[in-house]
Amino acid sequence: MTDSAAPVSDLDLFDDEVLVDPYPSYAALRELGAVVRLPANDAYALTRYDVIRDALADWETFSSAGAIGFNPMVNEALTGTSLSSDPPAHTRLRAALTANLSPRALRGLKATIEAKADALVEELVAKGSFEAIDALARALPLEIVADLIGFTGHVRDNMLRWGQAAMQVLGPMNQRTAESFPIAGELYAWCSAVTAGDLTPGSVGRGIFEAEARGEIPPDTAGHIIHQYLGAGVDTTIASIGNIVALFARHPDQLALVRENPALVPAAFNETLRFWPPINAWGRRATRDVEIDGVLIPKGAKVAVLLGAGNRDPRHYPDPDAFLVERNPIDHLSFGYGPHGCAGQGLARLEAHAVITSLSRRVERLVVGPEVRVPSNVTRSIEELPVLEVFPA
Amino acid sequence: MKIVLNRPRCEGHGLCEEAAPALMHLDDDGELVLHQEEIGDADVPQAQAAVRVCPVAALRLT
């Protein structure tokens, strides 16, 4: 064997400054190697596109079981979910999760989502100035997911903080994680107690309970599935819609390209996801000694899959730090890849494509103030984005 | 070469259809239909593109 020790960096992936702007740090890690040991996080980081994609496809070597979060408490709590299991158990859980979430299940929703997005954008353009995160990036997915699952009353009011906390607790046991656990616990408790009668008749959420009653999914999984819809699908979609507005404002030439050629709408979303992934780092565990690029990752090691570093790898994407919608990076890593590829990506595409379509039809240019960012363990998103002026189309 | 579909894993995201419209399409129920399993040399690049873009790795070439 010619395995050598992995290069080492003193970077802490969950340092406040790194969380707010991880890309310079990722560039330095990529230069050190495709695999870099991070003692601060007790993990081996995968930094380059090819090794990340290969690792995501290889679930036998890079296990999700008890491994996706960066603290033992959250990994324990996620035991038995599709996120945190490997085939064959994963295959069954995933099928139950996606039965109502796959593109074929969501086809009927396209027109409704487009109408909601367009009505919202139309109203905001008419106002001329607004805070884009609350008024658009949060408003749209919260309404769509609430209606989809059939939430009513106080649950709707809690969706944002529950969704944020569910992502935050995946980090290491720092102050953010400690403060978020009680809130994530509220979500978990609610999902453990929810019954079909709590959800609007005809909703997807009600359908999940009906599938459970018919024996199509295992007993007691309906609550888990609702938990994943809320935990994984709210905060991330909010991040990407906020990013769309910010990136179009920063790059009016790129907005102009989409305006001229609406066929670029999916490409613009792919590039937004590549450029600023809602999730930059995700966990796995090595199930065996594995050699990558001549470096050994020992059996049992924690692995940090740096999706955001792979997305900026110049070995795969020329000029990776430029935001260019025409590159259409359909193979970006932001939804993960393979058996654990984002289960909600079909819904995310429906929402984001609707927003991009409407913005590009109705807006020629946006003038924004400085974006406010707050360090967050897992979801990288904009906290506030003041739109000061809209030049309507 | 042969295109192999892992049907249980396919969720109908449809990115393959965009990459290789001559080789596959989603039917009215959103199920993927391969027009032929065996493909000639001329179609290999399109087939490779379809395999590459599948977000859940449900397609492979053998």
Q: Would you list the domain boundaries of chain A?
A: 16-392
The predicted pLDDT at position A108 comes to 85
In 3D, which of A155, A164, A228 has the Cα closest to residue A194? A155
- Residue A174 contacts residue A205 (beta carbons within 8 Å): no
The predicted pLDDT at position A216 comes to 82
CATH value at residue B22:
3.30.70.20
The predicted pLDDT at position A3 comes to 67
The predicted pLDDT at position A301 comes to 98
Q: Are A339 and B9 within 8 A, CB to CB?
A: yes
**Shortest CA gap A338–chain B (Å):** 4
**Shortest CA gap A102–chain B (Å):** 6
The predicted pLDDT at position A224 comes to 87
pLDDT less than 70: residues of chain A: 1-3
- Residue B60 contacts residue B5 (beta carbons within 8 Å): no
Catalogue the E-assigned strands of chain A: 35-38, 43-46, 62-63, 130-131, 281-286, 290-292, 295-297, 302-306, 363-368, 386-392
pLDDT, one tens digit per residue, over A20-35 is: 999 999 999 999 999 9
Q: Are A104 and B55 within 8 A, CB to CB?
A: no
Q: How many domains does chain B have?
A: 1
Q: Are A339 and B57 within 8 A, CB to CB?
A: yes
**Shortest CA gap A253–chain B (Å):** 26
Q: Residue A293: which region, alpha, beta or left (left: phi > 0; alpha: psi -120 to 50)?
A: left
Q: How many CB pairs under 8 A join A and B?
A: 45
pTM of the model: 0.96
Nearest to A104 among B15, B30, B52 (CB): B30
Q: Which chain A residue's Cα is nearest to B18?
A: A330
Longest dimension (CA), chain B: 30
Q: Are A331 and B53 within 8 A, CB to CB?
A: yes
Q: Are A91 and B11 within 8 A, CB to CB?
A: no
Q: Are B30 and A338 within 8 A, CB to CB?
A: no
According to CATH, the superfamily of the domain at A16-392 is Cytochrome P450 (1.10.630.10)
In 3D, which of A226, A199, A202, A236 has the Cα closest to residue A347? A236
Nearest to B14 among A95, A103, A338 (CB): A103
Q: Which amino acid is at A300?
A: G
The predicted pLDDT at position A2 comes to 57
- Residue B5 contacts residue B35 (beta carbons within 8 Å): no
Round to whole Å and give the CA distance between B5 and B20: 14
- Residue A251 contacts residue A363 (beta carbons within 8 Å): no
**Shortest CA gap B60–chain A (Å):** 12
Which SS3 state, helix, strand or coil, does residue B60 take? strand
- Residue A19 contacts residue A375 (beta carbons within 8 Å): yes
Please write down the HEC assignment for all residues of A326-386: HHCCCCCCCCCCHHHCCCCHHHHHHHHHHHHHHHHHHEEEEEECCCECCCCCCECCCCECE
Residue B56: give the domain boundaries: 3-61
Q: Are A103 and B11 within 8 A, CB to CB?
A: yes
Which SS3 state, helix, strand or coil, does residue A217 take? coil
**Shortest CA gap A144–chain B (Å):** 20
For chain A, helix (H) and strand (E) counts, in that order, are 18, 10
Q: Are A338 and B52 within 8 A, CB to CB?
A: no
Residue the block writes with tokens 């993960």: A336
